[in-house]
Structure 1
């Protein structure tokens, strides 16, 4: 095979040609600083405002509720630290505050919380079921009188499990209502009432699922450009108007004074262009095609002795994710194969896949997501994630399946 086949769309996506075209003017002719008052600057400012409006429309929020960041990791950090740091400014010590999250969150959430635990923050990690789905009732049971934030991802980036975000938001809203009633507050977010916010990292869900604020009920939502055929180096945080966050970066007052620094206009325009493509009528047919390809792969490789599908099937699984362990299944004659050997072996055959989260590349320990799901360590070390996307073809799927079967013989 002369050409390589990319099957790691969950890690990152190629930039769509339409996105490149939208970005190109902002590297040359329209390169001004949006804070400048001259024509160059105002042209950039108009493009920035238009892009923000496009993103806000997609999420069903006000333009003022969309704040751009350098990555989704930055946005996750900000969602958590912004809430906690703001309460610190109001006089709450770290050890008086509590956060609920899941044990299978992206490292951007988990590592931020672990760093803050060292400073006294209390955190409860809710474990998922064996399919990698977090129970909304378990999240509700973990909420305490001093819980100020619940953070649960929309779609797990390793096994593709879709979390019941609407139900979790409802549980959080009910807990908030009960809290304010006990405190005697006349309305939510009244001065003197300890807040309770719900954040979701929706990076893997944006291109497939409904992310409108009124449909899901979140207070904060993280999104990214390079997972949806936009550029790297740009992400964002939806912050509903009632949420009180501490600023992330101080300086010239950009992003409504919350994240100072000259805006990445080309990146923001590219992100908006990528989101605009998701709103086109033909996007649904793209989703259907991806789902068909994924189901074809799952049906074929799970029939191979020793290969086990991880995560849920059907409506609880995101359309582009196939996550398996190879060998080590109970009653199987297959030999356990470590993830690195599998990934390198397929790469040598021209196929780019991954062992799991690209953001944890280089880690030698078994997947923490699989371990939280109850997968034995030996099996967790033999994980393989295949993910397809907009530019995947039927021929590439067939070539991959041939190579995969041959490698396991």
Structure 2
């Protein structure tokens, strides 16, 4: 078996792997001898089938397996000896594959982009501020007021009162398009909170000012991106009968409210809210600290990047941004999306940082445990209520999905490893200052 270098420019590598016919025949013979004791064919006792007959019946399949094993073995031997680590799966192409015949040598061309050598970083030179925000009484009271509003009830307004924004109206309605009622467009005794935007845009505003007993014709147009395609963009009329007009009545902030949310009393509920708020602040502060860390790491190292990784990342960024800008386009029939210099610059940063964090994690022996993966799968499965089992099975059979779930856990653990070695200063700030720091992340 012979491996010959054909390309060595920057990080690009190319090799020709030649497996001689004699080597292939030897491997096939070896496989036949291994299988012979277990093979039983009509006319021969188990283990007594002649090799010539075995080769005639199984030789072609054995040849394919031997060819694959020989090439895989040559690639593994090459990477072990060279120390190269391919950035992506190497591209392997058989020379003259369509015309190859048994008895000929097998020649394979292998190309890949090698991962670059990653420079060491001195984490002790990194300086970070960890923003600390305490849950102030005003923030807790604001959260309590929001809970009370969520738990609000509605009481009938006095007879003849007109509905206001925020009121609940109980209605019967029948919707029609071009004079024809449509399926799903009717309802009885439906409680609708005006201003909740739970109905088609423009619907609720036309009920403001209505009184009990009024008959109101609501004229609306279904959005172009409406889920039911036969209604999308169509003008519709809803015949509504107002059966009740109710004003909101916020719940009292007391022990009874606390019990509705599973707390023993109001003091316990306040403590729970304060704890939740501080957990939210801590999560936001970590995002700010992580961005600062990544910015500093990006400025500390420079090295060649595998072109295929950068191209793939730039294409992914362009695709993601396209769908963010065109939320109505849910498919992938939009054709190729051209990558810009901005996409490529962002891709280079992501690839550089990704390779750096991966190398730091490798050297620090950072791993993702089975328990951590299980928690990640459970969290992801909650997005598919009623289909959790199918999601688990999908993840088990899909290595790419497993990697997507593992990658952010690994990255966060590497970040924690670097932060532990860096110079970190706790800094008390207000909730508003933290909010500004978080908003600044989106502007970068």
Q: Is TM more than 0.5 here?
A: no
Q: Which has the higher contact order (CA 8 A, sep 6+)?
A: 1
Greater radius of gyration (CA): 2
| Larger helix fraction of residues | 2
